[in-house]
Amino acid sequence: MRDMTGRPTCWSVLTAMGAAALARRGHGGGVMAADHRIMAGADLDGSVNGSVATTGLDRLFVLMRNASRGRGTTREEFWWHLRGWRRSPRPRASGHRTRTDLSPLMRQLDRALPLPPEAVDAMTDAIGTITADRAVVVGRAWQGAFFDLHPRCRDRRVLSGPSPRFPEIEFVP
């Protein structure tokens, strides 16, 4: 099996043995629980619903978090039930909506209209104080590093621990 650039993937052996080598990113791990062909996944800060929160997964997974979510959520329960390789980066100053279009749009709205302080506070709670541009850079770097490592076996070292390139990332144990 080769990737889009024509290079062999490190999952070639698995596909030669008849196993599918798919990776997926999105919100929540439920699709991976239902489709065992997906061997690696990344949750971009979505909700973890259904039985996967308590059963977990036995495959590779990155659970992107944000600074505003506390303990006791289904995401926390899901994290402790993951049995495969896992990482959980959390950008400081991020909110639940940081990695959505809402972040740049809300900032533009705040500049364009005189908003009441309550609306600005609600926006800040939703998107955090990390800039939209930086949130995109951090998200792309982490997702890119994960999907380079799995399935391409190219280690950018971003997933190994704190990096001076991304000082806003803290690793959740």
Asked, for residue 116, whether it belongs to a domain, the answer is no
Res. 64 pLDDT band, cuts 50 70 90: confident
24 beta partners: 41
- Per the CB < 8 A criterion, the answer to whether 102 and 77 are in contact is no
In this model, does residue 72 exceed pLDDT 60? Answer: no
Most confident of 38-47, 52-61, 147-156: 52-61
Res. 19 pLDDT band, cuts 50 70 90: very low
**Which of residues 107 and 119 earns the better pLDDT score?**
119
Beta strands 38-43 and 22-26, pairing class: parallel
| pLDDT tens figures, 110-142 | 889 888 889 888 888 888 888 888 888 888 888
In this model, does residue 71 exceed pLDDT 60? Answer: no
Asked, for residue 140, whether it belongs to a domain, the answer is yes
Asked, for residue 149, whether it belongs to a domain, the answer is yes
User: Closest by alpha carbon to 91, among 116, 56, 63?
Assistant: 63
Asked, for residue 125, whether it belongs to a domain, the answer is no
Asked, for residue 118, whether it belongs to a domain, the answer is no
In this model, does residue 166 exceed pLDDT 60? Answer: yes
- Written as six digits, the tokens of 115 are 């908003």
Q: Residue 13 is which amino acid? A: V
The chain-wide mean pLDDT, for the chain, equals 77
Residues 6 or more apart whose Cβ sits within 8 Å of residue 4: none
Using the structure block, give the residue that is written with the tokens 């991020």: 94
Question: Beta strands of 16-81 (E only): which ranges?
Answer: 22-26, 38-43, 60-63
Q: What's the domain count of the chain?
A: 1
* Strand ordering across the sheet containing 22-26: 22-26, 38-43, 60-63, 86-87
